[in-house]
Amino acid sequence: MKYLKKYYLNFIFLIIGTLFISIGGVLFLTANLGSDALMVLNQGIANALKIDVGYGIIISNLILLVVIIILDRKTIGIGTFFITIFLGLTINLLQSFNLIQTSDRFFINLIIVFAGIIIGGFGIASYIYANLGLSPFEGLIIYIVNRTKWHFWLIKIINDVILFTIGFLLGGVFGIGSVLTVFLFGPIINFYLFLLKKTNLVKQREIEIKG
């Protein structure tokens, strides 16, 4: 209880982040023009196993969580476990409402993609700002960077290429939306993080990156 009272703002940002990431993910899925690398992978897993995308997210995160626990626990926090379970469940819940339909018009779907990038970008920035642990996939990237001494951006590109490829081969949707996330997600997330850090509401913990 004391922990929750001390870090209640962190939890608020974590919950907000998870919700906005979920909304962004649902928008990507609705537009059907391709998503970020992780969502393409999770779409592929869901397609291969004939399950909802949210459950695909949980499965992939749980597998990577076990790997990270074995390799390097420094990036793990309560937020890691929270997003591992609740991100997928929230996406499934939002999809069940069926509030937005895929349009017959490419331009409308493209607008939905941009909305997903803007909303999802804020969600990712909020969950990072919450400072309660990284997602298993991000933790793995940090581990590889620190082990190889390669630059973060290079490992991230290699990681995305692998996830896009596996996801696409399993039936995930790769398209113009995927390309847009590659170029726009980073700057938008950095912009939101810049604004959030200006508030000084949450004390930040530095995670060592040697690359």
> What would the pLDDT profile of 69-104 be if each residue is shown by its tens digit?
999 888 899 999 999 999 999 999 999 999 889 999
Residue type at 9? Answer: L
Task: Give percent above pLDDT 70 in the chain.
Answer: 93
| pLDDT, tens digit, 9 for 90 and up, residues 183-207 | 999 999 999 999 999 988 886 655 5
In this structure, is residue 146 part of a structural domain? yes
| pLDDT, tens digit, 9 for 90 and up, residues 22-41 | 999 999 999 999 999 999 99
In this structure, is residue 205 part of a structural domain? no
In this structure, is residue 104 part of a structural domain? yes
d(CA 12, CA 10) in angstroms, rounded, equals 5
Q: How many domains does the chain have?
A: 1
What lies within 8 Å, CB to CB, of 180 at 6+ separation is 113, 114, 117
| pLDDT, tens digit, 9 for 90 and up, residues 127-173 | 999 999 989 998 999 899 989 989 888 998 999 999 999 999 999 99
Has residue 50 got a pLDDT over 90?
yes
In this structure, is residue 4 part of a structural domain? no
Find the domain containing 76 and state its range. 9-199
In this structure, is residue 45 part of a structural domain? yes
3-state secondary structure of 169: helix
In this structure, is residue 78 part of a structural domain? yes
In this structure, is residue 2 part of a structural domain? no
In this structure, is residue 1 part of a structural domain? no
Q: Rounded to two decimals, what is the model's pTM?
A: 0.92
